[in-house]
Chains A and B, each alone.
Chain A
Amino acid sequence: MKKFMVALWIFIFSGCMVTHKVVVPKIDESKYANANAVVIFDSTFVKVKKTGNYKRRHHVLVKILTMKGKADYSSPSFTYTTKYGKITVKLARVIKKDGRVVKVKKENIKDVKMPAFGKFFLPSVRMVKVTFPDVERGDAIEYEVIEDMKNPPMEGEYDDMIIFENTEPVLSQYYELEIPKNVNYRVYNDPEGIIKFKHEGNKYIWYAEDIKPLVREPMMPPITDIGKKVLLSTVDSWKKWSVWYWNLVKDKLVVNDTMKTTMDSLLQNTKTRMDTMKALFYYVSNKVRYVATTMNGKKLGYEPFPAPKTFRQKYGVCRDKAALLVAMYRYLGIDAYPVLTNPMMKVEKDVPVDQFNHAIVAVKERNKYIYLDPTAENIPNFLPFYEEGKGVLVCTPRGEDLTYIPVLPPDSNSTLNIQEIVMDSMGNIKGKSILKGSIVDQQFRMMVKKMPIERLKNLFQMSLQSLGSEATLDTMYYSDPDNFNEPFYFTIEYSVKDFALKSGKKLIFSLLNQNVSFMGGSPFSLEKRKYPLYFWVPVYSDNRVVIHIPQGYKVSELIKPFKGENDYVSYNSICKAMKDSIVCRFETTVKKSIIPPEHYTETRALYNKWVKTTKAKIILEKEGR
C-alpha cells in the first residue's frame, strides 16, 4: 500500500503537467472483482479567505472496470447557483490503459441551465457536465473542477460535510482546508478510525485510505446518517445560524390588507388560539401549492419571498410557505418563527454545519415550541409523522440552539384496520375493511386528494388480488378529506371468489393476507444486515377481523395465540371462535425506529415466529352428516 501511495502522490502532483503518456498507479483488479470502478483518489483542496469566499479544487481519478462503471463515471455533472459563484473544469481527460491521454475537448464540457425536474424550475441554477470520450474498460478518467465561491451564504464563515463512503471502493480520499480561522470538526461513524486528521498551521487535513464500498440494503437509514463523515465549521454556535436566518427572513414577514381581509374571513368562527393556529395552518398548507420558481434575493435558496407575494401567487417552496405562515401568526400576536430542518437525514448537533434542506414553523407556547410544517398538505396535525425526531433550528432574533422534535410513542403513529368478512358455504367472501388511525389519516387524505380516483381504485384492486381468484373491489368510500376536525377513515368493500378452499365438509383458509396486506411486505427479508433496519418512526398497527362463518359450520382449527416482544418490536395475535363467527386481532408494534444490526437477527426470529403462527390455516367443518 505504501508503494501505491507514493505512486499516487507522484501522480497527483504531476497531474497538471502536459504529458503525452501518464501512468495510472497500478491496482490489483482481482481484489475488486465485484466493483464496477475503483476510485483511485478523490481529493479536495479548499482555500478560504477571511470573507468566507473560497476556491475549492476537486480532483478525482477513477479506474473503470465495467460497462456499468463507465456509465456511472464517464459523464459527471456539477451544479452551481449563479449568484454564489461558478464552477469551471480545469482538467478532464481519459488515461488509456496503455498510458495514452485523451483530453476532453471544450465541446464536451457543457455549462447549461439546470433541467426542469418535477415541480422545480430553477433558472439560476446551472449544471456543468463533462462527457469523457473513448472510455473503455481498464481506462481511467480524471477531472479537476474548481468551484469559485464569491458570495458564501454566511459571510466570513465556512462549513462542510464530507462523506468518506462511496458505492465503489476508494483507495484514497483527501480533504485539505486552508483557512485563516479556527475550525471545529468531528468525525462520525468511524469506529475503526479510518479517517485520519492532520493540522499544520492554517491547514486542516482529513484523509482515508482503502475505503470499502457501501452496499445499500433495503430499508436502511440514509447514507448520511450511517456513513463515515466529517463535519467541519468555523461558525461557533447554532445560535449564530439561528440569528443569521432570522435576519434573512424578518423583513419578509409582513402582512398587507388583502391578507388581513382573508385572515378575518378564515378566523370568523374560531374561538381558541388553537383554532386560529389551525385555520391559518390549513390555509397555507392546502391553498398554497408547492412549486419552485426563480429563487429570491441575494441568498437564494435560503431567502423566502415576502409573505404578501407568496400569498398573492398561492405557490411557493417550503421557505416561502413557512414565512407566510409565520407572518400571519405574528400579525395576530402568535409568537412564531421560521425553523430550519431536514426530514431526510439526521442533523448532527456537535458542529454547527448547515445540514438543512427544509423550512418549517415553530410557535412558542409556554416556553415550549410547537412545530408546524405548512409544506405538508392534507395533514390533520401540524407535522407529518416522518419529521418526528428530526433536528430543528428555530430562527429567532437572539438565536437558539439546535434541538430535536420529540419522537411520539408508537400508538401515535397508528394504523387501525377493522374488517368484517361474511363467508358463504362455497368459501366465497364479501368483506368490508375500514382503515383508520393517524398514519392512515395522513397518507390516505393525501392519496384521495392527490391521486386520480381511478388510480386509487386500481391500487386497492391490485392489493386485493392476493386474497383469491377474481377478487373484486366492489366499492370504496371515505370521510371528507377537507374536514380536519374529524379523523379520516377509508372504507373498501370487496368480494372474493374461492377465498376458502372447499374440501369435502371442510372450508380451509388463511388470514395472513388480511393481516399484512396493507403493510407493504416483510422488512425482515434479509438474513443478516450490515446496516440498521430503519422505520423512520415507531409505529403501531392493529388489525381486527370478524369472520361470519356459514350456517351449519363450526370451527375445527384456529390460529394459535401468539405474544412475543423484545426491546424493538412486539407481536400479538389472538383468534377466538364465537357461536357464528371468528374474531381475530393482530397487533404489531415497532417500538423504536431503528433496529441495530446486532439485534436484527433476534428481532427477525420473533417476526418469523409470528408469521408462522398467523399463517396457519383456519378450518371450518360442516356439522352433522
Chain B
Amino acid sequence: MFFALFMFMSLSLKNASCLYELDSTKVVVNNKGQRITHRLLKIKILNDLGRDKCGDIKIRYNKESSEFKVLKAYTLLDNGEKLKVEKDAIMDVGAPETAMAPEYTNIQIKAVSFPALRENATIVYEYEIKSKKGEKNSPIFGSVFFRMKEPIKKKVFILSIPREKKLNFAVFGDSLIKVRVDTSRKMAVYTFLAEDVNRIPEENFLPPLYEIAERVDYSSFENKDKMAEWIWSKFKDKLNSSSEFIKETANSLKGSDDRETFYRVAEYVEENIRNVPLYLWDAGFVPHSPEWTLKHKYGDVRDKTVLAIALLNALGIKAEPVLVEGEGKEYRFAVGLSSVLKEKGKGAVATPSLYKDMLLKAQINDSVYFAYLMERFSDIDVLSPRFQGKEGFVFTGGKAKTVKIPEYPAASNTYSSILNGKLLPDGTFKGVWRIEGKGFYSATIRRMFRFKKEREKNIQIEDLVKRLGSTAKVDSYKLFNINNRWETPYFEVYVTSSDFALGDKYSLEFTLPLPPAAPRYATDKEREMSLYVGAKRSIKDSVNIKFEYLYQYTVSPGDTSLSSTYNAFSRKFSKDKQHLVCSSNYTIKKIEVPLNGYNGFRKVEGEYFNKNNRFFMLEPLSVRGK
C-alpha cells in the first residue's frame, strides 16, 4: 500500500548518506543443486555519515558449507585513484548470534573495511559465495528487497536455475521492479531490475520493513502443500516421544482440565527451558528432539515448541507448531537476500523464509489456544502484540493450512492507574497509587520487578513516584502476582509527596499526573509513512483526591471526549468542595494509522496529554470544623 508513495519519483539524494550506484547479484543454482552467488556493489559515499554507515561491508555466509571469494575490493576516489583493500582489512569474524549460541550456529561474517573513504569516493566490491556441494532436490527459495534506507541507482537480481526446475515468484511493488524471464536455454534466467529507488525515510514508529519495501519472493515449491510437506519432513519425527522422561514430566503437569494442562505445559517450557535467542531458521530447519531439549534445559523457539507438543501429546492433547510471519532483520535487509519476509497479496509464493517465529497451538473442545514459548513476563495466556492478527501457517501432516492468530481488542491490553489519597493545604499529597497491567501490559509490570533485587525494585518505585512531585517519598509498597503468571500483576505504592501541589493558605494548584505507561506516538507534525503503534490498547486512569479543607475551584478543566477512527479519549470529573474525582480512558483502536488518519490521531493524542486539561487551582472556602 505504501509502494504508491515512491512511484514516479525521480531519484532523490535528500538526507542520504551513500548511494548504491549498482547492486547486482546473480545466483546460479546448477543441476547438482550447487549454488553460486555473485555480487557486484558500487557505493558512492555522499558525506561523513555515509563513510561510517557504508564503509564496512559485512556479508553473512556459512563457512562449513560454502566458500567465500573476494574478487574485487577497492575504493575509487573522485580523482580516479584506485586504492585496493589490504589483506588485513578482509576479515572473517563470527556473526553476532554466535556470541549467544555458538553450539547452534557457526555463521560467519566476511567483513571488509574500505580505505581512504571521503565524500564522492566509490566503494567497488565484488565477491562470490559458492556452496561446497549441492543437494540435487533441495528447494530453492528466498526473497530480495529492492528498497533500503539509502537510495539505489540500479539494483539487479538474476536467478539462474535449470529449466526443468519450476520457479514461482511474486513481485511486491511491480511498478518499480521490472521482470524478465528467459526459459529458452538449458538454464532458465529470471531477472529482476529496479532503478532510481528512493530511500525509506527515518521516521519513528514505521511499519515493519517488509511492508514498506518492494521485494521479490521466489520459490521452487509448487504450492503451499509442497512446502508444508517439506517442513513437516524436518519436524515429524520430533513431535512424539515414547520416552519415559517425557511422560514423567508431562504427568507432573496435568491440570484440572485440558486448558489448564495446555498452559501448565507452556509455563513449564517457558520457565524451565532457557531461551537460546535465535531467529527461527538461524540454526537450520531441523529442531532438536524433545528429549534432547528437556535433558539440556535450553532451546530455541523450534526446540521449545517441539518439546511442548511432545509433552502435550503425552497427555493426550493434540498440539501443533504454527509458523508466524515477523518483522524484518536489518542485517539481512542490507545484504539484500532476506530470509525474513511477510507474505501478502494474491499469487504469493510458498517460501519458508516468510516466517520468522513459531507458536504452539492446540484445539481444545471448541477453542483454539496459542502460546509463545520464549515469553517469561506476560500473563500465561497472553500473546505478544507482534503476533496478534497475523496469519499463521500450519504444516501438520504435510498439509498446508493457514490460521488467523487472534487479535485482542483494546480492552484486553489495559494499563490501569488508580490514585487515591488526601491533599493537605500545604500541597502535600498522601495516598496510595495502584497500577495494574492486563494483556501485554502484564509484561510491562513484571519487567519492572521480576528477577530484581530488593534495591532494584525500590529504585524502580522511587523513580516512578517522581510523577507525583520531585519530593515524592515511598512510604511502602506491595507487589502482587509478579511471579504468578496466572493472575493479573499489579502493585500498590503508599506515597507522600510534599510538592504534589503548590499550596498555601490562599490557594492550591496542581496538575493531575498521567499513568506512567501512557504511550506517545504522534510526535511528528507530518509523516511520510503511516504510523505503526503495534497493538490496540486502553489506558485507564482514575484519581480520587480528598481535600483537608473545603475549596472552591478557581481554575478547573471540563470533561473532555474526543475520538478518531484510530484512537479515542474521554476524561470526566466530579468536583465538589472536598473531593476531586477524575476518570479517564485513552484507547488506541487500530495498530496502524494511515497518513490520512494521522492528523486526527495526533489531535486526540495531543488532547489526552495536554497538561491544561489536568490543571487545577483551588481557593479554600473555610477550614473544616471551624
Q: Does B9 touch A at the CB level, under 8 Å?
A: no
Q: Does A67 touch B at the CB level, under 8 Å?
A: yes
Tell which of A107, A289, A451, A454 touches B201, judged by Cβ atoms closer than 8 Å.
A454
Q: Does A134 touch B at the CB level, under 8 Å?
A: yes
Q: Does B337 touch A at the CB level, under 8 Å?
A: no
Q: Does B10 touch A at the CB level, under 8 Å?
A: no
Q: Does B78 touch A at the CB level, under 8 Å?
A: no
Tell which of B98, B474, B554 touches A115, judged by Cβ atoms closer than 8 Å.
B98
Chain A minimum-CB-distance residue to B376: A67
Chain A minimum-CB-distance residue to B95: A115
Q: Does B56 touch A at the CB level, under 8 Å?
A: yes
Q: Closest CB-CB distance, A499 to chain B, in whole Å?
A: 9
Contact A313:B116 (CB < 8 A) given known A67-B271, A74-B274, A110-B103? yes
Whether the Cβ atoms of B454 and A116 lie closer than 8 Å is no
Complex Cα gap A112–B101 (Å): 11
Whether the Cβ atoms of B56 and A121 lie closer than 8 Å is yes
Q: Does B138 touch A at the CB level, under 8 Å?
A: no
Q: With a CB–CB cut-off of 8 A, which chain A residues contact B201?
A: 454
Q: With a CB–CB cut-off of 8 A, which chain A residues contact B615?
A: 501, 508
Complex Cα gap A321–B158 (Å): 42
Complex Cα gap A116–B606 (Å): 42
8 A Cβ contacts from A598-613 to B: 607-608, 611-612
Complex Cα gap A122–B92 (Å): 8
Whether the Cβ atoms of A116 and B94 lie closer than 8 Å is yes
Q: Closest CB-CB distance, B300 to chain A, in whole Å?
A: 12
Q: Does B58 touch A at the CB level, under 8 Å?
A: yes
Contact A291:B113 (CB < 8 A) given known A462-B523, A608-B471? yes
Q: With a CB–CB cut-off of 8 A, which chain A residues contact B113?
A: 121, 291, 293, 313, 315
Interface pick from B81-89, B304-312, B349-357, B406-414: B81-89
8 A Cβ contacts from A464-516 to B: 465, 468-470, 472-473, 497-498, 500-501, 503, 506, 508
Q: Closest CB-CB distance, A166 to chain B, in whole Å?
A: 12
Chain B minimum-CB-distance residue to A481: B48
Q: With a CB–CB cut-off of 8 A, which chain B residues contact A131?
A: 101, 103, 298
Whether the Cβ atoms of B470 and A107 lie closer than 8 Å is no
Q: Closest CB-CB distance, B55 to chain A, in whole Å?
A: 6
Q: With a CB–CB cut-off of 8 A, which chain A residues contact B470?
A: 522, 524, 607-608, 611-612
Tell which of B52, B296, B611 touches A133, judged by Cβ atoms closer than 8 Å.
B296
Complex Cα gap A495–B355 (Å): 45
Whether the Cβ atoms of B451 and A67 lie closer than 8 Å is yes
Whether the Cβ atoms of A71 and B48 lie closer than 8 Å is no
Whether the Cβ atoms of B607 and A469 lie closer than 8 Å is yes
Complex Cα gap A275–B522 (Å): 48
Chain B minimum-CB-distance residue to A457: B524
Chain B minimum-CB-distance residue to A503: B555
Whether the Cβ atoms of B612 and A470 lie closer than 8 Å is no
Tell which of A287, A452, A497 touches B15, judged by Cβ atoms closer than 8 Å.
A452
Q: With a CB–CB cut-off of 8 A, which chain B residues contact A135?
A: 274, 297-298
Q: Does B459 touch A at the CB level, under 8 Å?
A: yes
Complex Cα gap A427–B37 (Å): 63
Q: Does B342 touch A at the CB level, under 8 Å?
A: no
Q: Closest CB-CB distance, B329 to chain A, in whole Å?
A: 15
8 A Cβ contacts from A273-327 to B: 286-287, 289, 291, 293-294, 296, 309, 312-315
Q: With a CB–CB cut-off of 8 A, which chain A residues contact B17?
A: 452
Complex Cα gap A612–B454 (Å): 30
Q: Does B115 touch A at the CB level, under 8 Å?
A: yes
Q: With a CB–CB cut-off of 8 A, which chain B residues contact A136?
A: 272, 297
Q: Does A364 touch B at the CB level, under 8 Å?
A: no
Whether the Cβ atoms of A315 and B274 lie closer than 8 Å is no
Chain A minimum-CB-distance residue to B93: A116
Tell which of A77, A291, A294, A462 touches B56, judged by Cβ atoms closer than 8 Å.
A291
Q: Does B283 touch A at the CB level, under 8 Å?
A: no
Whether the Cβ atoms of A133 and B612 lie closer than 8 Å is no
Complex Cα gap A71–B275 (Å): 8
Complex Cα gap A500–B603 (Å): 17
Whether the Cβ atoms of A470 and B602 lie closer than 8 Å is yes
| Chain B window 416-435, contacts with chain A (Cβ cutoff 8 Å), 1 for yes, 0 for no | 00000000000000000000
Contact A468:B610 (CB < 8 A) given known A67-B271, A452-B15, A462-B523? yes
Q: With a CB–CB cut-off of 8 A, which chain B residues contact A134?
A: 295-297
| Chain A window 610-625, contacts with chain B (Cβ cutoff 8 Å), 1 for yes, 0 for no | 0110011100000000
Q: With a CB–CB cut-off of 8 A, which chain B residues contact A296?
A: 88
Whether the Cβ atoms of A617 and B509 lie closer than 8 Å is yes
Whether the Cβ atoms of B88 and A115 lie closer than 8 Å is no
Q: Does B224 touch A at the CB level, under 8 Å?
A: no
Whether the Cβ atoms of B463 and A525 lie closer than 8 Å is yes
Complex Cα gap A468–B17 (Å): 34
Tell which of B56, B295, B453, B555 touches A213, judged by Cβ atoms closer than 8 Å.
B453
The residue among A449, A498, A501, A522 with the most chain B CB atoms within 10 A of its own CB is A501
Q: Does A145 touch B at the CB level, under 8 Å?
A: no
Q: Does A1 touch B at the CB level, under 8 Å?
A: no
Q: Does B182 touch A at the CB level, under 8 Å?
A: no
| Chain A window 378-404, contacts with chain B (Cβ cutoff 8 Å), 1 for yes, 0 for no | 000000000000000000000000000
Q: Does B559 touch A at the CB level, under 8 Å?
A: no
Whether the Cβ atoms of A116 and B459 lie closer than 8 Å is no
Chain B minimum-CB-distance residue to A497: B606
Complex Cα gap A440–B516 (Å): 30
Q: Closest CB-CB distance, A397 to chain B, in whole Å?
A: 29
Whether the Cβ atoms of B462 and A107 lie closer than 8 Å is no
Q: Does A114 touch B at the CB level, under 8 Å?
A: yes
| Chain A window 6-47, contacts with chain B (Cβ cutoff 8 Å), 1 for yes, 0 for no | 000000000000000000000000000011100000000000
Whether the Cβ atoms of A34 and B15 lie closer than 8 Å is no
Q: Does B499 touch A at the CB level, under 8 Å?
A: yes
Q: Does B260 touch A at the CB level, under 8 Å?
A: no
Chain A minimum-CB-distance residue to B47: A449
Q: Closest CB-CB distance, B247 to chain A, in whole Å?
A: 18
Contact A612:B502 (CB < 8 A) given known A115-B96, A215-B453, A454-B201? yes
Complex Cα gap A226–B52 (Å): 35
Complex Cα gap A80–B556 (Å): 66
Contact A468:B612 (CB < 8 A) given known A116-B111, A135-B274, A449-B49? yes
Q: Does B64 touch A at the CB level, under 8 Å?
A: no
Whether the Cβ atoms of B462 and A116 lie closer than 8 Å is no
Q: Does A527 touch B at the CB level, under 8 Å?
A: yes
Tell which of A66, A77, A449, A454 touches B451, judged by Cβ atoms closer than 8 Å.
A66
| Chain B window 275-307, contacts with chain A (Cβ cutoff 8 Å), 1 for yes, 0 for no | 100000000000000000001111000000000
Tell which of B15, B52, B94, B554 touches A453, judged by Cβ atoms closer than 8 Å.
B15
Q: Closest CB-CB distance, B546 to chain A, in whole Å?
A: 23
Q: With a CB–CB cut-off of 8 A, which chain B residues contact A450?
A: 48-49, 52
Whether the Cβ atoms of B523 and A461 lie closer than 8 Å is yes
8 A Cβ contacts from B48-102 to A: 48-49, 51-52, 55-56, 58, 83, 86, 88-89, 91-102
Q: Does B617 touch A at the CB level, under 8 Å?
A: yes
Q: With a CB–CB cut-off of 8 A, which chain B residues contact A70?
A: 274, 297
The residue among B83, B117, B274, B463 with the most chain A CB atoms within 10 A of its own CB is B274
Whether the Cβ atoms of B91 and A508 lie closer than 8 Å is no
Complex Cα gap A121–B118 (Å): 21
Q: Does B473 touch A at the CB level, under 8 Å?
A: yes
Complex Cα gap A286–B91 (Å): 25
Q: Does A50 touch B at the CB level, under 8 Å?
A: no
Chain B minimum-CB-distance residue to A460: B523
Whether the Cβ atoms of B463 and A312 lie closer than 8 Å is no
8 A Cβ contacts from B598-626 to A: 602-603, 606-607, 609-612, 615, 617
Q: Does B552 touch A at the CB level, under 8 Å?
A: no
Whether the Cβ atoms of B94 and A287 lie closer than 8 Å is no
Q: Closest CB-CB distance, B288 to chain A, in whole Å?
A: 11
Whether the Cβ atoms of B99 and A127 lie closer than 8 Å is yes
| Chain A window 524-546, contacts with chain B (Cβ cutoff 8 Å), 1 for yes, 0 for no | 11110010000000000000000
7 contacts between A and B (CB under 8 A): A116-B58, A122-B93, A136-B297, A312-B83, A452-B17, A508-B617, A617-B617
Closest 4 CB pairs of A and B: A68-B451, A469-B606, A115-B94, A110-B102
